[in-house]
């Protein structure tokens, strides 16, 4: 038996804040479609807490770990990466974050962990792997890699009742496009809703996998518009979310036994300038283009000019990354920062092929896209441009994703999770 508890805290702010994720969207939120939440699952003295926001600054993630009631190295702090929540990181995403919302996020995460810890009870942990729900598409390459896995954990009380269910899938929560002004968790809301309906009384957590290059079937550039898209609606989000939930519910669960533990590794990743011209020159070129640019292009150029002027005299330097691992009775929960591509997630998953492993992105900080070395020759928004909108002094240098994957595999080896398959 283990001791486990789960809790949810509402972190939805009042309407009126700018939503994060689409530069074309400049109007404030007008209301709430579904509540934004912080959800925590505590197993023994370890925890996962996930917030319905686009990402957390690594400084906030560290504060949540320090402030919570559990040992700080035993907690994974993650985001669903919904593009339907207000700006959630200081100095990033091209817009000012609301201090009151940032405090609400941080306090909500700490409170969710506290409540989950206080409600711990004797329980058993069951895990399985759902089949491919066929929702995600590689948005950069028609035949590109995808992590199709749907790992599932069910926590059952002594009487057999399911008190918590946690599932994951690697697909951008961007069904709703830039024309949406309602706060929402996007398709993860419907995943959780369906999982909870199937397990009355249980609380569901959804964690986003490595999907920096995966969404529901459109390019990154398709979001540079305010035009409505008949395929990017709440009805579509519900249909796809329920399909993912069905895959999770079909997973054949098995009881898991073994110790509960945690470990992590910090490493410095090199930032670099992929731009060939000096930033002062680029700022001048982009500013000159503004008067004749189309409206959405002008919004983009404005962000780029601000970025170039902000970092013109700044050396890109290093960014400190944290890779975390929880071992829940032989179920690995690997957490990596930023927007990790499918190729990298699959390389980590390959180290534990016989386990229902969770391989997560958007955890312990979100500094933007961290592409695998194989993607730099293709360029594109995720490789060559996104760091400007996100607000990083440079792009991540080739080899950064590989370093994160190697750190993850090392942690798995240290916990002896790669030594033999689970019986």
pLDDT tens digits for 296-352?
Answer: 888 889 999 999 999 999 999 999 999 999 999 999 999 999 999 999 999 999 999
Q: Indicate the average pLDDT of the chain.
A: 95
C-alpha to C-alpha distance for 47 and 409, rounded to whole angstroms: 21
As a whole-number percent, the residues of the chain with pLDDT over 70 amount to 96
Classify strands 121-130 and 2-10 as parallel, antiparallel or unpaired: antiparallel
What is each CA distance from 317 to 60, 320, 360, 404, in whole angstroms? 21, 10, 26, 17
pTM over 0.85: yes
Lookup result for tokens 């950069």: 140
H/E run at residue 168: strand 162-169
What is each CA distance from 382 to 220, 258, 343, 377, in whole angstroms? 8, 40, 14, 12
Residue 421 pLDDT > 70: no
Residue 174 pLDDT > 60: yes
- Residue 219 pLDDT grade (very low, low, confident, very high; cuts 50, 70, 90): low
Closest by Cα among 125, 130, 47, 59 to 89: 59
Residue 218: the pLDDT is 75
Lookup result for tokens 């496009």: 177
The two structure tokens encoding residue 348 = 């980590």
C-alpha to C-alpha distance for 6 and 49, rounded to whole angstroms: 10
The two structure tokens encoding residue 48 = 């996962």
Residue 95: the pLDDT is 75
Residue 223: the pLDDT is 64
Residue 423: the pLDDT is 40
pLDDT tens digits for 28-72?
Answer: 999 999 999 999 999 999 999 999 999 999 999 999 999 999 999
C-alpha to C-alpha distance for 226 and 54, rounded to whole angstroms: 19
Residue 54: the pLDDT is 98
Residue 224: the pLDDT is 64
The two structure tokens encoding residue 412 = 């798995």
What is each CA distance from 248 to 47, 252, 267, in whole angstroms? 21, 9, 33
Between 25 and 358, the higher pLDDT residue: 358
C-alpha to C-alpha distance for 198 and 244, rounded to whole angstroms: 13
Residue 296: the pLDDT is 80
Sign of the four-CA dihedral 381, 384, 390, 396: positive
Alpha carbon 377 to chain centroid, angstroms: 25
State mean pLDDT over 180-195. 98
C-alpha to C-alpha distance for 136 and 240, rounded to whole angstroms: 9
pLDDT tens digits for 221-253?
Answer: 666 666 778 789 999 999 999 999 999 999 999
Between 228 and 406, the higher pLDDT residue: 406
C-alpha to C-alpha distance for 353 and 348, rounded to whole angstroms: 9
Sorted by sequence, the CB contacts under 8 Å of residue 103 that are 6+ apart come out as none
């Amino acid at each position: 038996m283990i001791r486990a508890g789960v809790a949810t805290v509402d972190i939805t702010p009042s309407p009126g804040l700018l939503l994060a994720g689409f530069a074309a969207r400049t109007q404030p939120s007008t209301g709430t479609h579904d509540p934004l939440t912080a959800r925590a699952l505590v197993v023994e003295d370890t925890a996962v807490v996930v917030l319905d926001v686009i990402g957390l600054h690594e400084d906030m993630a560290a504060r949540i770990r320090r402030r919570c009631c559990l040992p700080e190295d035993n907690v994974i702090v993650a985001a669903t990466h919904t593009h339907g929540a207000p700006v959630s990181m200081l100095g990033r995403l091209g817009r000012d974050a609301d201090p009151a919302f940032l405090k609400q996020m941080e306090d909500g995460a700490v409170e969710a962990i506290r409540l989950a810890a206080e409600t711990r009870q004797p329980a058993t942990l069951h895990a399985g792997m759902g089949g491919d729900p066929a929702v995600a598409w590689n948005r950069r390459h028609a035949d590109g890699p995808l992590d199709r896995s749907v790992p599932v954990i069910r926590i059952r009380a002594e009487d057999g009742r399911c008190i918590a269910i946690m599932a994951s899938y690697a697909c951008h929560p961007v069904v709703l496009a830039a024309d949406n002004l309602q706060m929402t968790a996007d398709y993860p809301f419907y995943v959780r809703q369906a999982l909870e309906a199937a397990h009355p009384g249980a609380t569901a957590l959804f964690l986003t996998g490595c999907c920096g290059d995966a969404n529901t079937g459109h390019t990154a550039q398709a979001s540079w518009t305010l035009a409505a898209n008949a395929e990017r609606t709440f009805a579509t989000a519900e249909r796809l979310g329920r399909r993912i939930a069905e895959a999770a519910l079909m997973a054949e669960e098995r009881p898991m036994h073994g110790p509960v533990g945690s470990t992590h590794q910090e490493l410095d990743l090199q930032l670099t300038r992929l731009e060939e011209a000096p930033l002062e020159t680029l700022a001048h070129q982009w500013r000159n283009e503004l008067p004749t640019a189309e409206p959405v292009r002008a919004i983009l150029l404005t962000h780029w000019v601000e970025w170039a002027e902000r970092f013109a005299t700044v050396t890109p330097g290093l960014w400190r990354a944290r890779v975390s691992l929880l071992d829940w009775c032989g179920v690995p929960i690997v957490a990596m920062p930023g927007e990790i591509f499918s190729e990298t997630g699959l390389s980590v998953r390959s180290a534990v092929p016989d386990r229902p492993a969770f391989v997560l992105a958007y955890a312990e900080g979100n500094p933007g896209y961290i592409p695998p070395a194989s993607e730099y020759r293709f360029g594109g928004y995720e490789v060559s441009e996104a760091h400007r909108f996100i607000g990083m002094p440079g792009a991540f240098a080739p080899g950064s994703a590989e370093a994160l994957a190697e750190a993850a595999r090392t942690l798995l080896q240290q916990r002896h999770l790669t030594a033999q398959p689970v019986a």
